[in-house]
Amino acid sequence: MEFCQWFSNHIVGLDDDQLARMTVTMWFLLNQRNSRIWNGSMAGVQSVVQQGLETWKCVRQLVQHSVNVQGQSQKWEKPPVGFLKCNIDADILDQGVAMGAGFVIRNNEGAVAYCGCWKIRGSFSPTLAEALCLKNVLQFMISQGLSNVRMELDAKIVVDGINDNGINDFEMGMIFEYCRGLINQGNNFDLYHVRRSASASATLSAKSFVC
């Protein structure tokens, strides 16, 4: 039996939740195949599948959460037409031996265009976790060819450190400088500080690995 026929026979019996989980997993496997062919990168099947399932879990929780911006202490505001808004957050997990990071990118209608979350093992200060999260999100947005993005972060130290060229904290200086360089590549990225309540969805994504 050909794969297409096998796939068609099995997909009809899946519910929406199973179909979404399978689709995300297959996308990650295909992406790893392409990375292996074009970039020579190698990753085990188990780790790729786990990454796909964790992303599916993150998106599922995000949809179920359905943030009610009207009830938040700081209202989430839509970006202008032609712009995207990216809310970013990081959190310390597992009694300080790992960090969780998440982001949600919405269009000017408030619809989710991109979102993601990941977990990194290691000991991180809250400021370092936020800065590393921002760095990874910037790299993702550039890889996707995104432009005209307003980024919002609740870590004021990170926002001030990147927006002010005069701040060169010993621990964070190199990361600040690297992020500043990515922002200034001409993609029209802007970084702003907001209260945590305005980034509730990104916060949920960052915490999605706790369970």
Q: CATH number for the domain including 119?
A: 3.30.420.10
What does the pLDDT read at residue 66? 45
β-strand partners of 85: 106, 150
- Mean pLDDT (the chain) is 77
Task: Categorize the per-residue pLDDT at 68 as very low, low, confident or very high, splitting at 50, 70 and 90.
Answer: very low
Q: How many Cβ atoms sit within 10 Å of the Cβ of residue 150?
A: 17
How many domains are there within the chain? 2
Examine residue 45 and state whether it is found in any structural domain, yes or no. yes
Examine residue 211 and state whether it is found in any structural domain, yes or no. no
- Residue 121 · residue 101 · CB < 8 Å: no
The tens digit of pLDDT for each residue in 102-147 reads 898 999 988 888 888 888 888 888 889 999 999 999 999 999 999 9
What does the pLDDT read at residue 98? 84
- Whole-structure pTM value: 0.63
Last residue within a domain, chosen from 19, 39, 63: 63
Looking at residues 36-44, what average pLDDT do you find?
Answer: 72
Do 104 and 194 sit in the same domain of this protein? Answer: yes
- C-alpha span between 121 and 178 (Å, rounded): 22
Domain coverage including residue 152: 74-206
Examine residue 69 and state whether it is found in any structural domain, yes or no. no
Examine residue 188 and state whether it is found in any structural domain, yes or no. yes
Do 79 and 24 sit in the same domain of this protein? Answer: no
**Residue 77, CB-side half-sphere exposure with 13 Å CA sphere:** 9
197 vs 159, more confident: 159
